[in-house]
């Protein structure tokens, strides 16, 4: 893909701002502040996308509500990674038939990864006739024009062309926190893991220019943000498509030069592209949190090959040894799929043994869900759901024990944490995170929110640490 085809030209973005202004003028003239609701399913990339959609809606003169009955406009940002996520979206869409029946002027939009799939669009076209606008992640930057079309042409609009993908800089944003922020550094995925729908719905890998990322991070740090997460489906292939080559480690080192008191995190790293240079850079950089989310998916090399992951169990473990040799205190998390088609019990137990060997701080665990259109969905899948559930429970049991043991070892220690909000827990009302991203509930006053404090750890369980702020 030519770079010129990837970057949306400024005039095209200006045109979108023009549609935004027209909608805003219409609202102002009618003396109306429409209420919008943006509901997000799925990963952090979707959260970041929703913040852009909210930015556009704000510029159109909207205010926000959580109540679907009061909303003039509803945007459902969807996830397609597993069938369950899709079912929840259909459930939500079903409920919206009632809100639309009460308020026929209500506009309902469906976007995100599910919307990009032609089969979903067909189903919505036929069976969810109350949905006015459907657009995929590739069309996000055109939201003002699409919405303007819905308003003025009074017809349903579907924008789900299968494009390799673009980069739109400078879209407006509503950030929901003043402490934590997400910064997309690249979009799309070229890996085609055999179970995964993402490359089909989010297009090819494309990296933002480093200067644009640096400017965004600098602006966030200057505005007082303390915890910034760089996002991409595979951040380790950052820069491969840039005219001036720069790899992810170089980008981290460049960001680290920005002065201030803040942490930089990133997700997700693909093990096949994680390098010694990356680990050395993480270890050396002052602002880069010693936290690594390195999804292994399986602990069995045959299954890894069938998943098209590009590494073996041994290679993965070797990478971790390398990372831990330069960062002994590294906080490590992973994603795991149990029950990939054809996986045997012995192979699933290899995953449990890998988890025992690595001793992750936490895991995100999933039972395999066939995604139509992916190669794995065509494979024979003889194991039953019940068998897979038994293997899954064994994995959870192992990880819960390990997480509890690791957490217990923190009791009595004092850690530097960033207080980022309220926990909702009466006994430990504040919520905070360590450098490694571990959750710590604290006693103390709300005035600490937004600052780094020293926390003495008094108790722990499988999911969190509990402590008090040291004076």
Q: Residue 234 binds what, of ligand SF4, ligand 5AD, none (CB under 5 to 8 Å, by partner type)?
A: ligand SF4
- Cα distance between residue 28 and residue 276, in whole Å: 56
Of ligand 5AD, ligand SF4, none, which one does residue 82 interact with (CB within 5 to 8 Å by kind)? ligand 5AD
Q: How far, in whole angstroms, is CA 342 from its chain's centroid? A: 29
Of residues 254 through 273, those in contact with ligand SF4 by CB under 6 A are 270
- If 0-12 CB within 10 Å is exposed, 13-18 middle and 19+ buried, where does residue 299 land? buried
Minimum separation from the CB atom of position 258 to ligand 5AD (A): 29
Q: Total residues contacting ligand SF4 (rule CB under 6 A)?
A: 10
Output Rg (C-alpha) for the chain, integer angstroms: 23
Question: For ligand SF4, which is the closer residue by CB, 270 or 441?
Answer: 270
One character per residue 220-239, x = contact with ligand SF4 (rule: CB under 6 A): -------------xx-----
- To the nearest whole angstrom, how small is the minimum distance from the Cβ of residue 393 to ligand 5AD? 16
What are the percentages of helix, strand and coil residues in the chain, rounded to 5?
40, 20, 40
Least separation in angstroms between CB 339 and ligand 5AD: 8
- Would you mind telling me the total number of residues written for the chain in this entry? 471
Question: In 60-196, where does DSSP find H-type helix?
Answer: 83-102, 118-127, 143-153
Select the binding partner of residue 429 from ligand SF4, ligand 5AD, none (C-beta < 5 to 8 A, by kind): none
Least CB distance to ligand 5AD at residue 148 (A)? 34
Q: How many CB atoms lie within 10 A of CB 157?
A: 17
Choosing among ligand SF4, ligand 5AD, none, which partner's interface includes residue 368 (Cβ < 5 to 8 Å by kind)? Answer: ligand 5AD
CB 26 within 8 A of CB 60: no
In angstroms, give the least distance from the CB of 198 to ligand 5AD.
Answer: 7
User: Order of strands across the sheet with 263-267?
Assistant: 180-184, 227-231, 263-267
Q: Which of 199, 342, 421, 450 touches ligand SF4 (CB under 6 A)?
A: 199
**Facing residues of 292 across strands?**
332
C-alpha distances out from residue 278 to 96, 230, 271, 282, 416, Å: 46, 14, 11, 6, 24
3-state secondary structure of 27: helix
Q: Which is nearer to ligand 5AD, 87 or 446 (CB)?
A: 87
Nearest distance in Å: CB 297, ligand 5AD: 6
Check residue 252 for interaction with ligand SF4 (CB under 6 A): no
CB closer to ligand 5AD, 195 vs 279: 195
Site residues, ligand SF4 (CB under 6 A): 189, 191-193, 196, 198-199, 233-234, 270
């Amino acid at each position: 893909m030519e770079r010129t085809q990837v970057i949306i030209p400024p005039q095209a973005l200006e045109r979108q701002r023009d549609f935004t202004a027209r909608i805003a003028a219409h609202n102002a003239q009618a003396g109306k502040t429409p209420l919008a609701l943006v509901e997000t399913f799925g990963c952090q990339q979707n959260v970041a996308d929703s913040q852009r959609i909210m930015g556009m809606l704000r510029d159109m003169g909207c205010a926000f509500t959580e109540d679907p009955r009061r909303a003039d406009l509803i945007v459902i940002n969807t996830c397609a990674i597993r069938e369950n996520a899709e079912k929840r979206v259909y459930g939500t869409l079903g409920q919206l038939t009632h809100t639309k029946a009460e308020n026929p002027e209500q506009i309902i939009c469906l976007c995100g990864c599910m919307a990009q799939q032609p089969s979903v669009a067909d189903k919505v076209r036929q069976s969810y006739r109350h949905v006015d606008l459907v657009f995929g992640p590739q069309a996000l930057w055109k939201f003002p024009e699409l919405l303007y079309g819905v308003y003025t042409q009074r017809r349903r609009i579907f924008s789900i062309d299968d494009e390799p993908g673009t980069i739109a800089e400078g879209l407006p944003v509503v950030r929901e926190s003043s402490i934590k922020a997400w910064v997309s550094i690249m979009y799309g995925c070229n890996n085609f893991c055999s179970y995964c729908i993402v490359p089909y719905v989010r297009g090819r890998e494309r990296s933002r220019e480093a200067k644009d990322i640096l400017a965004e991070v600098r602006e966030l740090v200057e505005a007082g943000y303390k915890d910034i997460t760089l996002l991409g489906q595979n951040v380790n292939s950052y820069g491969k498509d840039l005219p001036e080559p720069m790899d992810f480690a170089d980008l981290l080192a460049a960001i680290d030069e920005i002065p201030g008191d803040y942490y930089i995190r990133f997700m997700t790293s693909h093990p096949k592209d994680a390098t010694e240079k990356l680990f050395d850079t993480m270890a050396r950089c002052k602002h880069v949190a010693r936290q690594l989310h390195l999804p292994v998916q399986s602990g069995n090399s045959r299954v890894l090959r069938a998943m098209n992951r590009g590494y073996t169990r041994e290679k993965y473990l070797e990478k971790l040894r390398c990372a831990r040799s330069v960062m002994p205190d590294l906080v490590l998390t992973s994603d795991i799929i149990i029950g990939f088609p054809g996986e045997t019990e012995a192979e699933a137990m290899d995953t449990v043994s890998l988890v025992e060997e690595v001793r992750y701080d936490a895991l995100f665990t999933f039972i395999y869900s066939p995604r139509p259109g992916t190669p794995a969905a065509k494979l024979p899948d003889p194991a039953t759901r019940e068998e897979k559930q038994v293997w899954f429970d064994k994995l959870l049991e192992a990880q819960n024990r390990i997480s509890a043991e690791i957490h217990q070892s923190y009791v009595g220690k004092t850690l530097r944490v960033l207080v980022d909000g309220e926990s909702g827990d009466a006994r430990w009302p504040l919520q905070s995170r360590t450098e490694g991203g571990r959750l710590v509930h604290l006693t103390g006053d709300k005035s600490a929110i937004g600052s780094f404090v020293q926390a003495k750890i008094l108790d722990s369980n499988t999911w969190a640490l509990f402590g008090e702020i040291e004076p």
